[in-house]
Every structure is written in structure tokens, then in C-alpha cells.
Amino acid sequence: MVKRNFLKAIGPGLLWAGAAIGVSHIVQSTRAGAGFGFALIWVIIFANVLKYPFFEFAPRYAASTGETLIDGYRRLGKWAVWIYAVITVFTMFFLMSAVTVVTAGIFANVFHSSFPINYWAIIILLVLALIVVIGKYSFIDKFVKIIIVLLAISTIIAVIFAFSSGYHPNPEFTHKFDWVIDIGFLLALVGWMPTAIDVSVWHSVWTIAKKKDTGYAPTLKESLLDFKIGYFGTAILSLFFLSLGALVMYGSGETFSNSGVAFAGQLISLFTKSIGPWAYYIIAIAALATMVSTTITCLDAYPRVLEPTTKIIVPRLNKENNTGKIQLAALIIVTAGTVIIFLFFLGNMKQMVDIATIIAFLTAPVLGWLNLKVIKLNNVPDEAKPSKFLIGLSWTGLFFLTVFGLYFLYIRFIL
């Protein structure tokens, strides 16, 4: 019975992992290894540790109160919901553009297509939006579980093979991290490592959706275990991607292209150089499926979080029969806004990804602070409230995220 109940509870943590494993791992972690070897491994570990409490508060709050973090923001005051709404609306088009253009790049490379990448991105976005409308939670839940396992196995095997060949970077092509020149990439790496903090809100929404879908209310222990499997699994996988970039590309004289299609080819070649050409199609399918899962997960999440946010901000829309209409409208807005970016503002893939991830970094302290305030609310049972250690780690995380953000703004606009 215990095992069966846990299987009912598991899912939101893996959906969270599906949103996390994508641009932050496939693109940013691999770029970190390819550009700086193992020098930034401490940054990835540091980011995963310092941001942990803000993500953990989501399943903790949802499982113990039966509410989403958005409901928690409402309890803080309408001002908190407005802050979340503004950050979400301001960032969602950049995020969707970043994940979709990477997906399109891999798709175009795998199928050797000369079709413009922005048109590929639009086609992929529209098809996945349709799947979200038809498939709903249960399909996405099952799909992501399979994809995560496939990518994890492929990456682990590739890194093992790469380590067996040794680590021999050519000093002529190595580059040491510069705290002024490379600070933009550092923030881009940390911004989505393991993912943007607003994904914590998605997690709380998925937790409640899972409860409605299965009819089973997971215990706090089950919800936290589900979350930790996803969180620590993605943390470890990010180190594997960094290792792959470091072992195969660092010091080789080759750098990642800013083009989505060329980058995809270079990414897949990292695996085939380690494992062998025979693995091309396995890796191609794993990489493509992973980015598809990330894109569809994001498309599923935004309507889910914008629906209750809209109802709180515009009370007259707070009717049960408006739920589906608001979610559909939100999906159309997210999709249309992203399509406009692809048609008129799409630059190179690297630039698009860096913009999205830097914005995520700069807004992280605000959302982290809101999550910390929510988990201290009176409606959270005493036995479900976080330990003093987690509270202390939260304040430490807020301090470092704020200081690094201010340092970046100083370097970029004042120095």
C-alpha cells in the first residue's frame, strides 16, 4: 500500500525536473564545461545548494495546506500576487523563446533541414500548444518521466566513456574565468541552475493538479521525497553535462556556435565522440525529446499559473466556469507572444538564452523572498514548517543572489 501510494504521489517532482533539464543543463552546463573546463563546477554546486530552500518550500506548502504558492501569495496580500504576475508576464516570452529555439535547433539539425529555424520554432510551438490543450496533465506527466530517464542514461554513459579517454586540454586554447568579462555568462548559468525560481510556483500547481487527477492526497513526506528525487537528480545531471563539455571540448580550440542548428550538431557530437558514431540516433532522439519535454512542460505551466493569478487580480473573473477559458486565453497569449519574437526579434540562440537566464537571476531574490514569507504563514502546520537550518540557508541564498545581481548591474551599467 505504501509503495502504491508513493507511485500516486510521484510526478510533480519529475515534471519540475522536466522543466529544469533543458536549457540550463543541455546548453548552459555544457557551455560552462566547454568554455572553462571544471573551473565552474563549484558555481553549479553553489547554485543548487543556495536555491534549494526556495524550491523545496513549494511542495512543502502545497502538501501541508492543499494550496498553491499563488494562494500563499494572496494570503500575504494582493501586492505579492501583483509582483508575481509582473515578473511572470515580463519573463515568460523570453523563457518560451529560449527553450523553443533550442528545441528547433536540435530538430533542424537531426533532420538536416535548411528550413529557417524561426519557422521551425513556430511550428513546434503550435503543435505542442495543441498537445497541451488535448493531452492535459496526465499525458505530460507520463511523457516527461520516460524522457528524463532516457536522457539521464545517455548522458551518464557518454561521460563515463569521456572520462576513460582522459582529460588533456591544450593550454593554447584554454580560458580562465574573468570576473568582469565573464560575469554575464556566470549569471546566465546560475539564473537557470537548476532552473528559474518561478518554476517553484509551477511545482505547487502541479502538486494540486496531481491530487485532483489521482484522487490521492500525498503526505508531506511523500511530496518532499518526490521533489528531492527530481531536484538532486537534476543537480547531478548538470555536473555530468559540465563534465562532458570539459572532457570533450575544453582546450580543443572549438567553441559552441551561436546558431541553434550548429550548436545542436556540436552537442550531439560531444556524445558521439565519447560513445561512438553508432550512438548518434539514440543521442539525437534523447536530446530532441528532452527539449520537447521542456517546451511542453513550460507551455502546460503558464496557463495553470496565470489562471488563478488572473482571478485574484480581477475578482469578477473568479468563477469556476471561467477556469478553462482563462487557461486557453493564457496559452494563446503565451504562444502568440513567443511567435512574435520568432518573427521579428529572434537573434542568435546564445543571446536569446542568455537574456532569459539573466532575467531569471535578477528576479530570483524577489521570488525567493516571497516563498520564504509564504512558508512562515500561520496556515502552515507547525510540523510542516522548515527547520532553522533551511531558514538560515534561505537568507544566505537571498544575500548571495542579491549581491551578485547588484555586482552584475554595476559592471554592466556603471563601471
The C-alpha cell at 265 is 550538431
Is the C-alpha dihedral spanning 394, 396, 398, 404 positive or negative?
A: negative
Query: How many C-beta atoms lie closer than 10 Å to residue 277's C-beta?
Result: 8
Is the C-alpha dihedral spanning 96, 101, 103, 104 positive or negative?
A: positive
Cα–Cα–Cα angle for 169, 173, 177, nearest 5°? 90
The DSSP 8-state label assigned to residue 387 in this structure reads P
Amino acid at residue number 118: N
Cα-flanking dihedrals φ and ψ of residue 319, to 5°?
Answer: -130, 145
What Å distances lie between residue 134 and 131, 152, 330, CA to CA? 5, 28, 15
User: How far apart, in whole angstroms, are the C-alpha atoms of residue 99 and residue 288?
Assistant: 11
Predicted local distance difference test score (pLDDT) of residue 26? 81
Predicted local distance difference test score (pLDDT) of residue 138? 58
Residue whose C-alpha is closest to residue 205's, from 133, 278, 297:
297
Predicted local distance difference test score (pLDDT) of residue 28? 84
User: How far apart, in whole angstroms, are the C-alpha atoms of residue 312 and residue 318?
Assistant: 7
pTM of the model: 0.88
Positions of the chain with pLDDT under 70: 1-10, 135-145, 260, 345-350, 415
Are residues 5 and 222 in contact, defined by beta-carbon separation less than 8 angstroms?
yes
Task: Indicate the domain borders of the chain.
Answer: 2-413
- For residue 69, count CB atoms less than 10 angstroms from its CB and return exposed for 0-12, middle for 13-18, buried for 19 or more: buried
Q: Which CATH class is domain 2-413?
A: mainly alpha
Predicted local distance difference test score (pLDDT) of residue 5? 57
Query: How many C-beta atoms lie closer than 10 Å to residue 114's C-beta?
Result: 6
- For residue 4, count CB atoms less than 10 angstroms from its CB and return exposed for 0-12, middle for 13-18, buried for 19 or more: exposed
Residue whose C-alpha is closest to residue 87's, from 405, 316, 373, 368:
368
